[in-house]
Amino acid sequence: MRMQEETMRPRRRLAPALIAVPALAAALLLPACAARAQEPGGPTRPARDRTITVTGTGVVEREPDQAVINLAVENMAQTADAAAQANAQTMERVIAALRRLGLERDQIRTVSYQLHPEYARDEPRPGQQYEPRIVGYRAMNMVRVTLNDIRRVGEVIDAAISAGANRVTGLNFQLRDPERARVDALALAVQNARAEAQALAAALGETLGPALDVSTTGMIPRPVPYMMDAMAARAAEVALPPPIEPGTLRVEATVTIVYRLLPR
């Protein structure tokens, strides 16, 4: 009976363990195979492109062909209404004088108007609280004149002051088409960058290939301010400033280019 019971016991399953051994061995062998494939004798990866990065700057100078003048009428009166009316009448004479010079309406624009009270600057007595006291009202009206002929700047200022303008708050010289100057500076910057890249490639014994990437930085020229103050020039019988020389405008652009290097 004991022998029969032993024969009836289930046998242990050894198949999974026997199957796991070859799988484990394969897993251990894979890193070795991968390392062997990366050895000098194994397959090689494609070589990365050799590149060179250069930066070029281009500078051009242009004579301004447009002037912007800010003319103002400033006055003071006892009441706000009186200050506003006197200011409006004087500015009408100024604009009429500018129109007689042949300026179109779109060349004369109102850019600022102010009307505010003026207070006395009395010092408070000891022990008393200072209370502001209105002594009058100040009005100021400003127009902007755009000239495409900068040779007429002095003529326009003279006519405006003769008609009653007592402030020239700004005079700027600029380009009517600043984008063209910027494009010219960019083209010069590219030429300079390529010349530098060719020199470096030749020194390295390589051949300069095509451009792979380009980035640019540039700045549109800002108007050049001309400092002057012609307030009450006629009333004080002071001669106007000498003939105005606008000078030149400097336009600069920079490019950074990545070139491919080719073996000779």
Per-position DSSP letters for the chain, written without gaps between them = -HHHHHHHSPPP--HHHHHHHHHHHHHHHHHHHHHHHTSTTS--PPPPPPEEEEEEEEEEEE---EEEEEEEEEEEESSHHHHHHHHHHHHHHHHHHHHHTT--GGGEEEEEEEEEEEE--PPPPTT------EEEEEEEEEEEEEES-GGGHHHHHHHHHHTT--EEEEEEEE-S-HHHHHHHHHHHHHHHHHHHHHHHHHHTTEEEEEEEEEEEEE-PPPPEE-----TTTTTTTPPPPPPP----EEEEEEEEEEEEEEE-
88 in a structural domain: yes
- Both 107 and 81 in one domain: the answer is yes
- Both 153 and 194 in one domain: the answer is no
pLDDT number for residue 126:
75
Strand partners, 256: 55, 215
pLDDT tens digit sequence for 17-33: 444 444 434 444 444 44
234 in a structural domain: no
Tell me the average pLDDT across 254-264: 92
90 in a structural domain: yes
- Both 57 and 117 in one domain: the answer is no
155 in a structural domain: yes
pLDDT tens digit sequence for 118-132: 998 777 677 677 677
| Nearest by Cα to 208 from 226, 188, 223, 193 | 193
- Both 90 and 56 in one domain: the answer is no
pLDDT number for residue 34:
39
Tell me the average pLDDT across 100-122: 92
- Both 123 and 144 in one domain: the answer is yes
- Both 72 and 91 in one domain: the answer is yes
Distance CA 193, CA 199 (A): 10
31 in a structural domain: no
Count up the domains in the chain and report the number: 2
Instruction: Tell me the torsion sign for CA atoms 192, 198, 203, 208.
Output: positive
- Both 158 and 184 in one domain: the answer is no
pLDDT number for residue 225:
64
- Both 208 and 122 in one domain: the answer is no
Distance CA 64, CA 174 (A): 5
- Both 72 and 167 in one domain: the answer is yes
* CATH number of the domain to which 80 belongs: 3.30.70.2970
pLDDT band at 200; cut points 50, 70, 90 = very high
> pTM, whole model, 2 decimals?
0.65
Task: Tell me which residue range forms the domain holding 214.
Answer: 51-61+180-219+255-263
Range in 29-38, 66-75, 95-104, 216-225 with the lowest mean pLDDT: 29-38
